[in-house]
Amino acid sequence: MSLDSSTTVATGGTAGLRPPGGAPPATGFRIGLAARRLGALIALAVLILLNLAITPHFATMQTLSVNLTQICTIVIVGVGMTLVIATGGIDLSVGSLMAISGALAPGFFTGALFHGGNLYVNIGFGIVIPVMVAGLFGLFNGWLVSSFRIQPIIATLILFIAGRGIAQVWTNGDLQVFKAPEFQAIALGHVLGVPFQVWIMLVFVIAAAWMLRKTVFGRQLLAVGGNEPAARLAGVPVKRVKRLVYVISGLCSGVAGLIVIAMNSAADANLIGMGVELDAIAAVAVGGTLLSGGRATVVGTLIGALIIQLVRYTLLANGVPDAAALIAKAALIVLAVWLQRQERA
């Protein structure tokens, strides 16, 4: 069901992503992008058909839920990552920001750190404050990138290293176990039979796809990634746009961190979001967003994450060890990016 809604957005979103600065002829570009999007969709369809044929119990609601919940945090982080990459940047700090948000939250919603008087007020603080803090750290990334012109990979490497340390220092490295069903509903609750976190993911994907397509900010973001000097000359507030995408990426990471701890009933600063930056970047690349910037598809990122997850699920469900699935994932990433190159050429 949720798959259907995402594909609708997919076809709807295609037309909106025109090249910034209008370098290549519009028609050829649109065909190229449609082909690429179609290629990813076909790959996804083939995977689903293959699984229907060979994997037992594939066509069940449970399988759908398992696969979708596996990718939720990756896609939510991937939404922010797509926008950052669209501006020609990259954000390595997402996993550490997830750890910060996840480590901060329990102190608020359990009322241990600050008691708002009422459980729901506490939960409100437990959601808003950690996400805001992650957003502020995102602002720090954006500030380094825009005001100091530090390369994004280095600028965000700082918080990649220090961010997890901050979360660990905050919790002293201890596991915080909690039981807060009202808070954990953000991951474990169901609406219409679909886990609530999947709805959150879809809201993020749809909102970002709409933003890229329909808002001035979305266009400015692609313009900055496509040709920064040209964008600047055209009056795009380059610095502000860059700062903002890193803030958005930080906010997305903050939300993803909350979902992880809600799923686990525990916050472990050592592990939350470990390695998620690479999973998110892989999903973005497989989804068809150009890593050099200027062209982006948020729905593609969702499809990319789905493809990677389904390949892994197919292998695991058919008795292939997890380590071998890693090798398949590597081959898949190379193949997908190579095919996209062929289509552009």
Partner 1 sequence: MKHRWSGAGIGVVIALALLIAFGGIRYDGFLGSYNILTVLRYNSMFALVGLGMCFVIMTGGIDLSVGSVAAMASVVSAYLSPYGLLPGLLGGVGAGLVAGTLSGLIITKLKILPFIATLAVMLAASGTGLLLANNQSVAVSYDSAFTTLGQGNLLAAFKPEWIDGDNAGWMGTALGLFFNFPTPAWIALVAYIVGSVVLNARPFGRHVLAVGGGEEASRLMGLPTDRTVFAVYLISGGLAGLAGVILAAQFGAGQPIEGIGWELFAIASVVVGGTLLTGGKGSVFTTLAGVLLLGLIFTILNFENGMGWISLSAYWQSVVRGAFLLVVVILQSRLARTAPA
Residue at 28: amino acid letter: G
Residue 113 interacts with partner 1 (CB under 8 A)? no
Nearer to partner 1, 167 or 211 (CB): 167
Size of the site for partner 1 (CB under 8 A): 47
CA distances from 233 to 17, 46, 224, 225 (A): 21, 45, 11, 14
Residue of 173, 181, 191, 215 that binds partner 1 (CB under 8 A): 173
Residue 163 interacts with partner 1 (CB under 8 A)? yes
Nearer to partner 1, 302 or 333 (CB): 333
Residue 172 interacts with partner 1 (CB under 8 A)? yes
Report 326-345 residues binding partner 1 (CB under 8 A).
Answer: 326-327, 329-331, 333-334, 337-338, 341
Residue 295 interacts with partner 1 (CB under 8 A)? no
Residue 149 interacts with partner 1 (CB under 8 A)? yes
Using CB under 8 A as the criterion, what x/- string covers residues 261-290 for binding partner 1? Answer: -------------xx--x--xx--x-----
Tokens of 164: 């997890």
Output the CA angle 153-157-163, nearest 5 degrees.
145
CA distances from 341 to 205, 207, 285 (A): 25, 28, 11
C-beta of 337: minimal distance to partner 1 in Å?
A: 5
Ranges of H-type helices in the chain: 2-14, 26-54, 61-86, 94-109, 119-147, 152-171, 181-188, 196-214, 216-226, 228-233, 238-264, 276-286, 298-317, 322-344
CA distances from 267 to 22, 103, 141, 189, 199 (A): 47, 6, 24, 19, 22
Residue 318 interacts with partner 1 (CB under 8 A)? no
Q: What residues line the site for partner 1 (CB under 8 A)?
A: 90, 92, 144, 148-151, 153-155, 157-166, 168-169, 172-173, 274-275, 278, 281-282, 285, 291-292, 321-327, 329-331, 333-334, 337-338, 341
